[in-house]
Amino acid sequence: MKIKTQSRSSALSNKIKTKTATIGVIGLGYVGLPFAVEIVQSGFHVIGFDKNQDKIRQIQEGDSYIADLPKENLQRIIKSSRFEATNDFSKLSQVDVIVICVPTPTAVDGTPNMSFIKEATHDIGRNIKTNALIILESTTYPGTTEEFVQPILQKNGFVIGHDLFLAYSPERIDPGNSKFSVSNTPKVVGGITAACLEVSKVFYETVIHTSIYTVSSPRVAEMEKLLENTFRQINIALVNELSQICYKMDIDVWEVIQAASTKPYGFMPFTPGPGVGGHCIPVDPKYLLWAGQQHGISATLIEAADKVNDSMPSFVVNRLENYLSRQNKELSKATIVIIGVTYKPNINDPRESPALRVIQQLLDSQCELKIIDPFIQTFSVQQSLLNTVPLTGEIVQHADAVLILTNHSEIDYSLIDQQASLIFDTRNTNFVFENKNYHKL
């Protein structure tokens, strides 16, 4: 059995090394589509699978819905005939390696929603041929690959590590980051067996141009991803809390952080803001919290951090109200220009963005909003569809305040500086404002 397994895994490794393997990517979202493009660019034939028919159509038309993926790149690889996007999951029978990049949100009660991984694994189990490699990249709780994915595949008659290889490797993509992309960010991988690990390592070494760090099990790889994002969640909460204390004490929190950053060891700067957003920082710590609870540990630090970050939208609205009242204006009668809806600058993803909660609170206060975000045209706040508008001097002049929630670099900040009667900047935007009513968080 051992010799047979070795020859099966080395046959697959050879197929990968010679780039004659066909690669499948399940879930063509912020993670899956850029990675599929990267794999094509490294010389493979790739089949991308998604349940969303609209996304398949957009890809087939060469229309990129990911800000970091220029449509020219997508069109080039579509033309090359080495990439096809489909919702025909029977084509999973044609692939040698499958990377799973489906969503892992939380359910309403904050527990992991595993329905997407479950559905993808069932599709794989029904269609995959023997001697293939499956790698889960979705962020999830430790134990998912071994205790959730593996049993589903085994039910389809596969013996993991023998006729099917299974591993976990967390996705570390950072949308909007121009320095680090999939191809130059080190990859961590853990396999169910030594053969699973070996063939996964060969796959990543062939596709990306940086180091591959192997760990002893998928559980370690799953946990290290939760550590990365919980580390961010807690440190952001710390500076958010600091910003609330500094405000009451009339201390500039940004100056404090800058001064602390001069320490060459033992300190790493994080920046406060209107809260946390995206598919990772507000969600992943909840997976760790849940995992701890399953083992009798209540992760109080994670809960406290969540509470602080969640309090930031109200903190921002209260402060805006204070600044307006200093000018004898009421929030309920004010017109506010909102700059930025997405959860971070220069991307088109508004998921879980704290701006949505600030906007909701402002709408509840009856004020009028003009929303500017060059990256999105429409977005939803509690089932209502809202539109963004272009930034003009007239809009700014007629508003009572400009509230910067996302510091996109293509915003004309000098226009805001010159025309606004009040600016509240929650991001310490990289622009020297001279407006006499400029306030930072």
Ligand X SMILES: NC(=O)c1ccc[n+]([C@@H]2O[C@H](COP(=O)([O-])OP(=O)(O)OC[C@H]3O[C@@H](n4cnc5c(N)ncnc54)[C@H](O)[C@@H]3O)[C@@H](O)[C@H]2O)c1
Residues 174-233 that bind ligand X (CB under 6 A): 175
Q: Please count the residues of this chain forming the interface with ligand X, following the rule CB under 6 A.
A: 26
Q: Does 51 bind ligand X (CB under 6 A)?
A: yes
Contact assessment for residue 75 and residue 60, using Cβ atoms and an 8 Å cutoff: no
Per DSSP, the three-state class of 390 is: coil
Is residue 300 classed exposed, middle or buried when 0-12, 13-18 and 19+ CB atoms within 10 A define those classes?
exposed
> Which CB atom, from 50 or from 400, has the smaller least distance to ligand X?
50
CA distances from 383 to 104, 182, 201 (A): 21, 34, 44
Closer CB to ligand X, residue 104 or residue 150? 104
49 binding ligand X? (CB under 6 A):
yes
Least distance in Å: CB of 361 to ligand X? Answer: 26
Inter-residue contact 44 to 133 (CB < 8 Å): no
Candidates 6, 20, 52, 298; binder of ligand X (CB under 6 A) is: 52
Residues 258-287 that bind ligand X (CB under 6 A): 279-280
For residue 404, the cross-strand partners are 339, 425
CA dist., res. 22 & res. 97, Å (int) = 7
Residues 150-169 that bind ligand X (CB under 6 A): none
Beta strand 97-100 with 22-26 is parallel
Find the shortest distance in angstroms from Cβ 120 to ligand X: 4
145 binds ligand X (CB under 6 A): no
Piece in contact with ligand X (CB under 6 A), picked from 113-121, 186-194, 317-325, 401-409: 113-121
Of 16, 21, 23, 28, which one interacts with ligand X (CB under 6 A)?
A: 28
Chosen residue from 23, 26, 134, 339 binding ligand X by CB under 6 A:
26
Residue in this structure with the two tokens 């490699």, named with its chain if needed: 133
Q: Check residue 116 for interaction with ligand X (CB under 6 A).
A: yes
Closest CB 34 distance from ligand X, rounded Å: 9
> What are the two backbone dihedrals, phi and then psi, of residue 412, each rounded to the nearest 5 degrees?
-85, 90
Candidates 171-179, 190-198, 230-238, 360-368: pick the segment binding ligand X (CB under 6 A): 171-179
In the set 101, 196, 246, 280, the catalytic residue is: 280
- The reply to whether 425 sits near ligand X by the rule CB under 6 A is no
Does 323 contact ligand X by CB under 6 A? no
Which of 254, 258, 286, 259 is closest to 273 using CA atoms? 254
Map tokens 């920046």 to a residue: 271
In the window 75-104, what residues touch ligand X (CB under 6 A)? Answer: 101-104
Q: What is d(CA 385, CA 367) in angstroms, rounded to the nearest whole number?
A: 17
How far apart CA 257 and CA 240 sit, in angstroms, is 11
**Helix extents (H) in 298-391:** 300-326, 354-364
Reply yes or no on whether 280 is catalytic.
Answer: yes
Closest residue (Cβ) to ligand X?
Answer: 29
Measure the CA–CA gap between 133 and 322, rounded to whole angstroms.
58
> Does residue number 171 form part of the binding site for ligand X (CB under 6 A)?
yes
| DSSP string over 280-320 | TTTTHHHHHHHHHHHTT---HHHHHHHHHHHHHHHHHHHHH
Distance CA 406, CA 403 (A): 9
Q: Which of 5, 17, 19, 29 binds ligand X (CB under 6 A)?
A: 29
Active site residues: 280
**Interface residues with ligand X (CB under 6 A)?**
26-32, 49-52, 55, 101-104, 116, 119-120, 138-139, 171, 173, 175, 279-280
